[in-house]
């Protein structure tokens, strides 16, 4: 399987007054053609920053990106503004958490899709409208003809998110980046959108990178899951590996809080003490060390390196084997 | 200072433990739409946010409220808090009508407090957090020195060391810490009922767990009653004794958490539960349990409001509105399939139960 996206040692730093915020600290991630990868983590873990750097959406002036970032075999970091504009939309498209903010409120949804189509392809207004209508049917918007002429505020949340997916698909991209696409939606609508994404992915052979903090949403759509903490992927593997045999202590506690029967009434919830580290002042060792119940002195000296546990399943922790032994003995 | 934790013989407890703390009777709140309908015709359309609901909040319990957005959860909370006034209906707090001479609003608000979802916008950015917490007690007549002492005690109680945090401003705190401040502020007036409107929804999972533990501890220590509104069904099941399900401004089901989650009666409750993502990548959801979005509360469907999306819909459902009926077990539901002589056959209902059991 060819790599559609390849990130190697990606670092993203934001230059703030008198400090540097290290939002992403060496991310290695490969996404194959037609593969769905979910990036999960808490707020501030760098998952959205990673996603946005794939399209280079960060301000050039205040951001420093290093490492390798390739999409469809092309080096994104070396692209000219013109090449970048061609890539955005044609190769890579993105959907956001809040479609009401991402869509322009003063144009109808149809006009926005038609504009996108005509920006990238030389087609007539009528032809573009026909394509927009076909897209609306594809994302299963009821009475699509009428909805094309609706303004974003006239649609419900789920409908808006469908319209945004239609907009993202308007130029037949190969990669879809989804930044918390279902977080703002109700559970009953969330599952509809997740199923739609899964169907479209199969139908169009899209590669999808899906950022979420909801493990359940990741389990519903992702082939592979990568867990981020303090700007690093601390564990990644197939969805089944990660959800059934998590090995990193952070992943384990994250899953424990959600697993069946974890929330027993009358019992206290197991919590991870403390808070994530300050990204402008990261500790020298493992970023999770401060909060980890297995941490030893060595954990606070140098950052752990990635270890392969099974084909495709990697984790970064010094004590992986000790923890596994502890788990089996008791 | 009055002992914060001594609530066993609360003088304010009038009706005894069996009297519901808050009874909600036929509560109705419509928001009229501007520029619709003819002027003075008296026939303006309105968002029927809360459309005649009845329920009780028992003393010492946690009542969870679930439903999709737009179903009236937050409007209900705001009316209960009397931040907005109902069009009709009655709130009876421990046997006394809210707003009557026996229980004026000022007295009622002292005993009912609220925590909102957005921890940042609900704190005054120009006040230190101890001043924010002490503000309401001062308004209600406590000396500022006593109020500040109480604020510091409460900060310690919610897990923020007063020496470190008392003088800070809201922007200097993380989201979880700010929500702890909001909880402390809600407790500053020693309320009996605390309304938590999506209070943990904006927090990360690990922080959410810390705050939920805190809420459980505080409830026990101060003898509180919670109304817990959330869209996260896992959290609601964990924290609630009883659960109320709302759909388009009406109560469709109420029962103990176990009844509602293990033996849901209403088709909507069942679909809501099935919409939770499965945690097993090998057993993914194949078909969405509910199609489409909730209908518009301006023009709710006739008859049973859920009939447009219901998997068990039958002919009478679109004409006849179900009546909310409560079984002896305290498990109540508003669905024609559970009503005798409604013309809706029980077969589908039987099917529902066997499928779930």
**What's A193's DSSP letter?**
H
Does B278 sit within 8 Å of A239, measured CB to CB?
A: no
Which residues in A lie closer than 8 A to residue B207 (C-beta atoms)? Answer: 42, 275
Number of domains in chain B: 2
For the cut 50, the answer to whether the pLDDT of residue A230 exceeds it is yes
Cross-chain residue pair A213–B204, CB shorter than 8 Å: yes
Q: Residues 228..257 of B with a Cβ closer than 8 Å to A: which?
A: 231, 233-235, 237-238, 257
Q: Does B73 share its domain with B190?
A: yes
Predicted local confidence at residue B42, as pLDDT: 56
Both tokens of residue A318?
């010094």
Same domain, B314 and B257: yes
Q: Identify which of B205, B277, B284 has the shortest CB distance to residue A254.
A: B205
Tell whether B181 and B252 lie within a shared domain. no
Q: Categorize the per-residue pLDDT at A82 as very low, low, confident or very high, splitting at 50, 70 and 90.
A: very high
Q: Which residues contact A164 (CB under 8 A, 6 or more apart)?
A: A95, A96, A99, A102, A103
B180 and B268 share one domain: no
Whether A258 and chain B come into contact, CB under 8 Å, resolves to yes
Cβ pair B206:A42 closer than 8 A: yes
Residue A220 contacts B where some CB pair is shorter than 8 Å: yes
Q: Which range, of A279-293, B123-137, B172-186, B275-289, averages the lowest pLDDT? A: B275-289
Q: Is residue B190 part of a domain?
A: yes
Residue of chain A whose Cα is closest to the Cα of B276: A187
Q: Which one of B293, B298, B309 would you mutate to disrupt binding with A, by most A Cβ within 10 Å of its Cβ?
A: B293
Q: Are residues B115 and B78 in the same domain?
A: yes
**Overall average pLDDT of the B8-13 stretch:** 66
Residue B320 lies inside a defined structural domain of this protein: yes
Whether residue A239 and residue B290 make contact (CB cut-off 8 A), yes or no, is: no
Angstroms from B280 CA to nearest CA on chain A: 6
Q: Tell me the helices (H) and strands (E) count for chain A, helix number first.
A: 12, 12
**Above 90 in pLDDT, residue B229?**
yes
A–B CB contacts, 8 A cutoff, strictly below: 112
Q: Is B9 on the interface with A (CB under 8 A)?
A: no
- Residue A294 φ then ψ, to 5°: -100, 0
Q: How confident is the model at residue B75 (pLDDT cuts 50, 70, 90)?
A: very high
Label residue B171 exposed, middle or buried (CB < 10 Å: 0-12, 13-18, 19+): exposed
Q: How many residues does chain B have?
A: 357
Residue A138 has what pLDDT?
Answer: 93
User: What pLDDT sits at residue A261?
Assistant: 58
Q: Which two structure tokens, joined as six digits, stand for A193?
A: 């959108």
> Which chain B residues contact residue A198 at CB under 8 A?
284
Best of B64, B72, B281, B288 to mutate (most A CBs within 10 Å, chain A): B281
Residues B316 and B343 in one domain: yes
Give me the mean pLDDT over the B63-72 stretch: 90
B206 touches chain A (CB under 8 A): yes
- Report CB contact under 8 Å: B174, A265: no
- Same structural domain for residues B186 and B259? no
Contacts of A213 in chain B (CB under 8 A): 204-205
- State which residues form the domain around B313: 248-278+295-356
- Three-state DSSP at A229 gives strand
State the pLDDT at residue B3.
45
In chain B, residues with a C-beta closer than 8 Å to the C-beta of A142 are: 292
Q: For chain B, positions 270-289, list CB contacts with chain A under 8 A.
A: 271-272, 275-282, 284-289
Sign, Cα dihedral of B338, B343, B348, B354: positive
Confidence of residue B353 (pLDDT cuts 50, 70, 90): very low
- Mean pLDDT within B329-348: 80
B216 touches chain A (CB under 8 A): yes
| Same-domain status, B239 and B255 | no
**Tell me, what's the pLDDT at B210?**
86
- Please name the residues between 131 and 190 in chain B that touch chain A, using a CB distance below 8 Å: 174-176
- B175 and B73 both lie in a single domain: yes
Reported confidence tier of residue B9, pLDDT bands at 50, 70, 90? low
Q: State the span(s) of chain A assigned CATH 3.40.50.300.
A: 3-91+173-262+271-329
Residues A91-95, mean pLDDT to the nearest whole number = 94
In a domain, B13, yes or no: no
CA separation for the pair B81, B91 (Å, rounded):
10
Confidence of residue B325 (pLDDT cuts 50, 70, 90): confident
Q: Is residue B229 within 8 Å of B196, Cβ to Cβ? A: yes
pLDDT at B341: 73
Question: Is B15 inside a domain boundary?
Answer: no
Q: What is the DSSP letter of A303?
A: P
Backbone angles phi, psi at B238, to 5 degrees: -65, -45
Give mean pLDDT, residues B104-110. Answer: 91
Beta strands in A203-283 (DSSP E): 207-212, 224-229, 232-238
Averaged pLDDT score across all residues of chain B: 87
* B355 and chain A in contact, CB less than 8 A: no
Q: Is residue B348 part of a domain?
A: yes
- B222 and B91, same domain (yes or no): yes
> Distance from A1 to chain B by nearest Cα, in Å?
22
Residue A272, classed as helix, strand or coil, is: coil
Give the model's pLDDT for residue B39.
57
> Which residue of chain B is at minimal alpha-carbon distance from A193?
B288
- CB-based contact B280 A42, cutoff 8 Å: no
Q: Give me the mean pLDDT over the A58-62 stretch.
A: 90
Q: B5 lies in a domain?
A: no
Question: Is position B62 within any domain?
Answer: yes
Tokens 């209902």 correspond to what residue?
A: B349
Beta-sheet pairing, B88-93 with B96-97: antiparallel
A223 near A51, Cβ under 8 Å? Answer: no
Name the least confident of A12-26, A229-243, A304-318, B198-212.
B198-212
B210 interfacial to chain A (CB closer than 8 Å): yes
> Which residues in chain B have Cβ-Cβ distances shorter than 8 Å to A216?
276-279
Q: A190, B277: Cβ pair inside 8 Å? A: yes
B189, B136 Cβ separation under 8 angstroms: yes
- Residue written as tokens 């109420």? B254
Domain harbouring B232, CATH code? 3.40.50.300
pLDDT single digits (tens) A166-215: 999 998 999 999 999 988 888 888 999 999 999 999 999 999 999 998 88
**pLDDT tens digits, B19-55:** 999 999 999 999 988 765 555 555 568 889 999 999 9
Beta bridge partners of B333: B253, B325
Residue range B146-166, pLDDT digits in tens: 999 999 999 999 989 999 999
ipTM above 0.85, yes or no: no
Instruction: Please say whether the structural domain A3-91+173-262+271-329 has been given the CATH code 3.40.50.300.
Output: yes
Alpha carbon of B264: minimum distance to chain A alpha carbons (Å): 16
Residues of B in contact with A253 (CB under 8 A): 206
The full length of chain A comes to 330
Minimum Cα–Cα distance from A162: chain B residue:
B292
Non-local CB neighbours of B314 within 8 Å, separated by 6+ positions = B336, B343, B344, B345, B348
Same domain assignment for residues B310 and B203: no
Same domain for B155 and B232, yes or no, is yes
Residue B214 counted as domain residue = yes
Instruction: Report helix angle A109-120 to A81-90, nearest 10.
Output: 130
Query: Which residue in B204, B282, B288 is closest to A192 by CB distance?
Result: B288
Mark out the alpha helices in B124-161 (DSSP H runs): 129-139, 144-157
Report chain B residues whose CB lies below 8 A from the CB of A272. Answer: 206, 209
Tell me what the pLDDT averaged over chain A comes to.
90
267-286 in A: which are within 8 Å (CB) of B?
A: 268-272, 275
């Amino acid at each position: 399987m060819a790599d559609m996206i390849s990130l190697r040692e990606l670092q993203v730093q934001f230059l703030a007054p008198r400090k540097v915020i290290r939002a992403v600290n060496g991310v290695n991630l490969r996404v194959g053609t037609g593969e769905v990868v979910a990036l999960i983590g808490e707020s501030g873990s760098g998952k959205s920053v990673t996603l946005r750097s794939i399209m280079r959406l960060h301000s050039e002036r205040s951001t420093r990106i290093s490492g390798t970032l390739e999409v469809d075999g092309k080096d994104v970091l070396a692209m000219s503004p013109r090449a970048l504009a061609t890539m955005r939309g044609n190769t890579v498209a993105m959907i956001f958490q809040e479609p009401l903010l991402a869509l322009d409120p003063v144009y109808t949804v149809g006009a926005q899709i038609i504009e996108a189509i005509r920006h990238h392809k030389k087609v007539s207004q009528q032809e573009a409208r026909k394509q927009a209508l076909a897209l609306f049917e594809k994302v299963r918007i009821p009475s699509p003809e009428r909805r094309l002429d609706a303004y974003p505020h006239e649609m419900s949340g789920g409908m808006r998110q469908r319209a945004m997916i239609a907009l993202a698909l308007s130029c037949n991209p190969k990669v879809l980046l989804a930044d918390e696409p279902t977080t703002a939606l109700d559970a009953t609508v969330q599952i509809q959108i997740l199923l739609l994404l899964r169907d479209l992915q199969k139908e169009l052979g899209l590669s999808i990178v899906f950022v979420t903090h909801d493990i359940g949403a990741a389990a519903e759509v992702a082939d592979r899951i990568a867990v981020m903490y303090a700007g690093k992927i601390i564990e990644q593997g197939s969805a089944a590996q990660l959800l059934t045999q998590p090995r990193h202590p952070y992943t384990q506690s994250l899953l424990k809080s959600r697993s069946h029967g974890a929330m027993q009434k009358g019992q206290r919830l197991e919590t991870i003490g403390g808070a994530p580290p300050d990204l402008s002042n990261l500790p020298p060792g493992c970023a999770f060390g401060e909060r980890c119940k297995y941490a030893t002195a060595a954990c606070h000296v140098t950052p752990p390196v990635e270890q392969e546990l099974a084909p495709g399943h990697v984790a970064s922790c010094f004590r992986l084997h000790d923890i596994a032994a502890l788990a089996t003995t008791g | 200072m009055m002992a914060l934790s001594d609530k066993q013989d609360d003088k304010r407890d009038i009706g005894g433990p069996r009297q519901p703390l808050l009874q909600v009777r036929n509560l109705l709140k419509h928001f009229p739409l501007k520029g619709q309908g003819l002027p003075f015709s008296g026939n303006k359309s309105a968002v029927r946010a809360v459309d005649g609901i009845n329920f009780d909040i028992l003393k010492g319990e946690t009542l969870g409220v679930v439903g999709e957005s737009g179903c009236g959860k937050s409007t209900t909370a705001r009316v209960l808090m009397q931040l907005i006034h109902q069009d009709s209906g009655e709130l009876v707090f421990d046997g006394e009508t809210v707003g009557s001479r026996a229980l004026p609003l000022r007295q009622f608000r002292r005993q009912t407090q609220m925590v909102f979802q957005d921890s940042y916008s609900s704190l005054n950015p120009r006040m230190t957090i101890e001043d924010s917490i002490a503000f309401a007690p001062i308004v209600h007549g406590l000396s500022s020195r006593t109020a500040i002492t109480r604020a510091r005690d409460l900060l310690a109680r919610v897990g923020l060391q007063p020496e470190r945090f008392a003088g800070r401003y809201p922007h200097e705190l993380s989201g979880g810490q700010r929500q702890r401040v909001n909880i402390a502020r809600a407790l500053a007036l020693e309320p009996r009922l605390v309304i938590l409107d999506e209070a943990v929804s904006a927090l990360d999972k690990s922080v959410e767990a810390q705050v939920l533990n805190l809420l459980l501890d505080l409830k026990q220590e101060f003898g509180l009653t919670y109304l817990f509104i959330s869209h996260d069904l896992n959290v609601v099941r964990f924290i609630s004794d009883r659960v109320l399900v709302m759909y388009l401004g009406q109560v469709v089901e109420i029962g103990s958490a176990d009844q509602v989650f293990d033996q849901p009666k209403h088709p909507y409750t069942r679909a809501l539960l099935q919409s939770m993502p499965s945690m097993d990548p090998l057993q993914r959801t194949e078909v969405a349990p509910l199609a489409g979005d909730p209908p518009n509360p301006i023009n709710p469907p006739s008859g049973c409001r859920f009939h447009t999306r219901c998997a068990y819909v039958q002919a009478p459902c679109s004409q006849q509105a179900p009546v909310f009926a409560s079984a002896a077990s305290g498990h109540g539901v508003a669905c024609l399939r559970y009503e005798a002589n409604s013309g809706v056959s029980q077969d589908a209902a039987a099917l529902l139960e066997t499928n779930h059991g």
